[in-house]
Amino acid sequence: MSETEFPRGLADRLRGILIDADYTVSGVRDRLGDAAARALAREELVPALRATGGEERLGLLLRLWWLRSPIPARAARAVLPVDELAEAGLVTVEEGPHGTVVRALVHLGPWDLEDGRPGFVVSDPKVRPGTGAVPRHDHVVGAGNASATLSQLIVDGPVDRALDVGTGCGVQALHLASRAREVVATDLNPRAVRLAGISLALSGVAGARLAQGSLYEPVEGERFDLIVSNPPFVITPDSSRYTYRESDLPGDTVCAELVRQAPAHLTEGGWCQILANWVHSDGDDWEDRVGGWVTGTGCSGWVVQRDVQDPAQYVELWLRDSCEHGTPEYTRRYDAWLDYFEREGIKGIGFGWISLRNDVAQDATVRVEELRHDIEQPVGPYLPDVVDGAMTALRLTDAALLSAHVALAPGVVEERVGRPGAPDPEKIVLRQQNGLRRGARVGTVEAALAGVCDGTMPVGPLLDAIAQLIGEDQAVVRERTPDALRTLISEGFFRVAR
Ligand SMILES: C[S@@+](CC[C@H](N)C(=O)[O-])C[C@H]1O[C@@H](n2cnc3c(N)ncnc32)[C@H](O)[C@@H]1O
């Protein structure tokens, strides 16, 4: 790939050609059809190759940029400025057994920008399993599942300045472009900086700044309203073997450092949101470990563990990710990786996300929890409410809670389980039908409160009325309920109206 800057004029022309040919997410989906698109998602190219034969423009572009199939040079030249693209390092012209062909040196895929305009993401071609090849050390990974997880997490804009640390192919910077007046995207890998620049230029995103360097180094002294990172979080003995997923910091330090240094780069009220892996060891509790990273910043935060893998599962996942399954080195690497985990006392690895908000002036609250079930996506639009709910609940003393006006949150329903015909249920569960879709087992008093509280009356008198109705002592109900209600507020079942 060429080291020189990708010419702006060439980017504009290529963007025009791609859009004209309907090389867009919907255009490609329609062209391939459901079965071929599903096969592609399984890394099977044959149905897509069959669906894109001939010399029609969209089929040619798909074969070249997506399916990595060389196309005849004559046909390519009729559609694309081949020589300029070759000079810029995006394609190569080769002599093949059936004549001159053009081969792509990058993967160029269509992308839907959040404002509805078509965009494009440029990365290194994916190394396919079973080919015997492994990624190069400075491989630039395309937008994958982890990228999508982070993008669903990003809080809504608009904001003034946003930063993407470890931009890779630039996919998060594209997400930030719809939220921020100014976007800065950084990466340690100079090839990533270049490819991210091409993704942004082809997507018509003007004015984003790209910078090469480690973590926050390139933005020394700068502050942002929103920082996102899908960092190289893989915990491995071979640090930095693959820059796209491993840093040169030991264990889970890269994630801890991103969090630790965030406040120095956040405006007041600014958010930092990262994906992370963290160590589970005999020595400490993961909640204290990761919660401690956030508490140490003085910011409010929310740490969510979405999955935990044992060491063997983890090693297999990442050896498969780098297509090393079945290679002669596989067993040795697997063994060495497990040795490392054993030496370090690592019993498992947590996968999740960390969001922190720089609200140091207020009483910062950090919520740490495990959520393994399916939740409403995207999380970003309701994420600030989750952090605010936890903060509000923590601040309320019992007395303040009894005089507060509280309302049941929208979308909460009640489930009663019991023997058919029995006068009382065996259990009552409040369940959120949207958002985090939590369920909470509650007592009769909280269930009754959920049925009547709409924010018009304070909690205390409502509890008195409920106590009278169920024949319990009012003072006991007033004393017993605040703790449970506080938890229900912090989990989003109730909201404090005033
Ligand atoms: C998992 S990829 C994420 C790419 C992209 N942001 C996404 O969401 O798909 C991690 C990126 O971090 C970059 N990286 C690795 N070490 C880094 C460091 N010390 N500082 C900044 N970026 C780094 C890698 O080059 C890679 O592009």
pLDDT tens for 449-462 read 999 999 999 999 99
Is the model's pLDDT at 33 over the cut of 70? yes
Ligand 1 centroid – CA 320 distance (Å): 19
Split at pLDDT 50, 70, 90, the class of 4 is low
For ligand 1, whether the C-beta of 175 sits within 6 Å is: no
pLDDT tens for 212-264 read 999 999 999 999 999 999 999 999 998 778 999 999 999 999 999 999 999 99
For ligand 1, whether the C-beta of 88 sits within 6 Å is: no
Q: What is the DSSP string of 455-471?
A: EEEEHHHHHHHHHHHHT
Domain segments of the chain as ranges: 8-105, 134-376, 396-496
Q: Where are the beta strands (DSSP E) in 61-178?
A: 71-72, 91-96, 99-104, 107-112, 118-123, 159-165
pLDDT tens for 169-202 read 999 999 999 999 999 999 999 999 999 999 999 9
In ligand 1, which atom is closest to the CA atom of 249?
Answer: 19
Predicted TM-score (pTM) of the model is 0.95
Q: Which fold has domain 134-376?
A: Rossmann fold (3.40.50)
Ligand 1 centroid – CA 27 distance (Å): 30
In ligand 1, which atom is closest to the CA atom of 140?
Answer: 27
Average model confidence (pLDDT) across the chain? 94
Yes or no: say if 176 and 202 are a contact pair by the CB < 8 Å rule: no
In ligand 1, which atom is closest to the CA atom of 187?
Answer: 22
Closest CA to 226 of 174, 269, 166: 269
For ligand 1, whether the C-beta of 267 sits within 6 Å is: no
Split at pLDDT 50, 70, 90, the class of 8 is very high
pLDDT tens for 432-489 read 999 999 999 999 999 999 999 999 999 999 999 999 999 999 999 999 999 999 999 9
DSSP category for residue 436 = T
Nearest CA to ligand 1 atom 16: 247
Q: What is the dihedral of CA 460, 462, 463, 465, to 10 degrees?
A: 130
pLDDT tens for 399-422 read 999 999 999 999 999 999 999 988
Strand 494-496 and strand 405-408: pairing? Answer: antiparallel
Please state which architecture CATH assigns to domain 396-496.
Orthogonal Bundle (1.10)
Give the span between the Cα atoms of 195 and 89, in whole angstroms: 11
Ligand 1 centroid – CA 147 distance (Å): 11
